[in-house]
């Protein structure tokens, strides 16, 4: 059985690296679920990751992100680039199931040999970005894709979470002055490297572009504002070129390396937090701790104070174990 499992694993890795869509999908499923098998996959492909651009697209609902993504896929594909798309959909707070509407809207591009599309459920992850997205992007990198596009659920201010996974952030807005400008004021103004005013066939698009440029002029971020009409493809080629140009600029200045280091640190911290939470839960389920808490309850102890004491003792013990190797 051990040899059989080892053969299955090697077959999965070989298929993944050869670009097999079936094996890529299977590997992503393990990683997305946080399965131990997924960790083994990540460890194997880690040294093979080249560092291809991971570009996040965010913005208010109805901004046309899915249509723009479809057009960008076609544009990059026309340049001989293999593109992977991770589209994060909202999850039901009860069942954890996702709407996965993007999979339906982008069905026309999924079958293309140069494209891999995957819908993800956010499953209660903080903000608009699903857990393990960055790890999944590394799998896609190792599988030979040249760029990874991440489209979020369009959750407004919570889209700032995209900075935790993407090298470059593209904010997509509409010419309307209502929801779009409010979303920008709510936080999106602080995260974008590139702002795209979509549906530019609307006469108000030029005014919206000018307003964004005015607002960004006082921002510390060096951002560019462009216009597109994704439904017709107008301006999409220019946006695709600007994405690659900005990624190259970030690389030359060292900003890309800094961002990736920050993302790496965040991944490690999140993994540590999840491990600590699981260990604490196991600790509290023990009969010894349960008995101790019962006696403290009868004595009228303050829960917050007890929690602080437990956390301090627990972390000190874990710290000693870590220092001991």
User: Where does residue 34 fall: left (phi above 0), alpha (psi -120 to 50 degrees), or beta otherwise?
Assistant: left
Q: Are residues 108 and 248 in the same domain?
A: yes
pLDDT at 122: 61
118's CB contacts (< 8 A; 6+ apart) are 25, 28, 84, 85, 86, 87, 136
Residue 43, both tokens: 């460890």
Residues in the chain: 325
CB of 132 within 8 A of CB of 165? no
Q: How far, in Å, CA of 94 to CA of 107, rounded?
A: 27
Residues 207, 233 within the same domain: yes
27 and 130, same structural domain? no
- Neighbouring C-beta atoms of residue 1, cutoff 10 Å: 5
Kindly state whether residues 191 and 223 are assigned to the same domain: yes
**Do residue 98 and residue 209 come from a single domain?**
yes
pLDDT value for 262? 93
The answer to whether residues 35 and 102 belong to one domain is no
Same domain, yes or no: 103 and 171: yes
**Residues 22, 127 share a domain:** no
Residue 298 belongs to domain spanning: 262-323
In this structure, the answer to whether residues 120 and 87 fall within a common structural domain is yes
* Residue 17: per-residue pLDDT: 94
Same domain for 151 and 32: no
Identify whether residues 116 and 65 lie together within a single domain: yes
Q: Would you place residue 222 in the very low, low, confident or very high pLDDT band (cuts 50, 70, 90)? A: confident
Mean pLDDT over the full length of the chain: 83
What is the mean predicted confidence (pLDDT) over 295-303?
A: 88
Contacts of 198 (CB under 8 A, 6+ apart): 63, 64, 67, 68, 172, 173, 174, 227, 228, 229, 230
pLDDT in tens, 304-317: 998 888 888 887 77
Measured distance CA(200)–CA(197) in Å, rounded:
6
- Asked if residue 80 and residue 156 are part of one domain, the reply reads yes
Which residue is listed with tokens 């839960």? 281
Q: Are 194 and 246 in contact (CB under 8 A)?
A: yes
DSSP 209-235: HHHHHHHHTTSSS--EEEE-BTTTTBT
pTM: 0.84
Task: Mark residue 94 as left, alpha or beta (left: phi above 0; alpha: psi -120 to 50; beta: remaining).
Answer: alpha
Is it the case that residue 73 has pLDDT exceeding 70?
yes
User: How many structural domains comprise the chain?
Assistant: 3
Which of 182, 185, 131 lies closest to 161, judged by CA? Answer: 131
Bridge-partner residues for 119, per DSSP?
A: 87
276 or 112, greater pLDDT: 276
The pLDDT tens digits for 183-198 are 566 567 778 899 999 9
Nearest to 137 by CA among 42, 268, 15, 22: 42
pLDDT for residue 62:
81
């Amino acid at each position: 059985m051990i040899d059989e499992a080892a053969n299955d694993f090697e077959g999965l890795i070989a298929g993944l690296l050869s670009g097999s869509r079936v094996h890529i999908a299977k590997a992503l499923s393990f990683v997305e679920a946080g399965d131990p098998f997924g960790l083994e996959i990540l460890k194997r492909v880690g040294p093979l990751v080249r560092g291809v651009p991971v570009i996040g697209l965010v913005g208010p609902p109805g901004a046309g992100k899915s249509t723009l993504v479809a057009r960008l896929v076609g544009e990059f594909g026309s340049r001989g680039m293999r593109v992977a798309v991770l589209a994060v959909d909202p999850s039901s707070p009860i069942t954890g199931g996702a709407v996965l509407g993007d999979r339906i809207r982008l069905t026309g591009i999924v079958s293309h040999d140069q494209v891999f599309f995957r819908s993800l459920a956010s499953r209660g992850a903080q903000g608009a970005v699903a857990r393990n997205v960055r790890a999944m992007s590394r799998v896609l990198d190792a599988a030979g894709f040249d760029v990874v596009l991440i489209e979020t659920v369009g959750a407004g201010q919570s889209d700032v979470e995209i900075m935790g996974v993407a090298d470059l952030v593209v904010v997509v807005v509409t010419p309307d002055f209502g929801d779009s400008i409010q979303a920008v004021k709510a936080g999106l103004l602080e995260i974008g490297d590139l702002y795209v005013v979509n549906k530019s066939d609307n006469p108000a698009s030029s005014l919206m572009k000018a307003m964004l440029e005015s607002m960004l002029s006082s921002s510390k971020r060096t951002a560019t504002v462009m216009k597109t009409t994704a439904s017709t493809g107008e301006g999409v080629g220019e946006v695709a070129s600007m994405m690659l140009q900005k990624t190259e600029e970030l690389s030359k200045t060292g900003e890309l390396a800094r961002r990736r280091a920050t993302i790496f640190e965040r991944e490690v911290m999140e993994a540590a937090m999840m491990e600590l939470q699981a260990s604490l839960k196991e600790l509290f389920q023990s009969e010894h701790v349960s008995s101790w808490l019962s006696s403290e309850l009868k004595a009228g102890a303050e829960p917050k104070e007890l929690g602080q004491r437990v956390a301090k003792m627990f972390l000190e013990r874990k710290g000693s174990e870590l220092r001991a190797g």
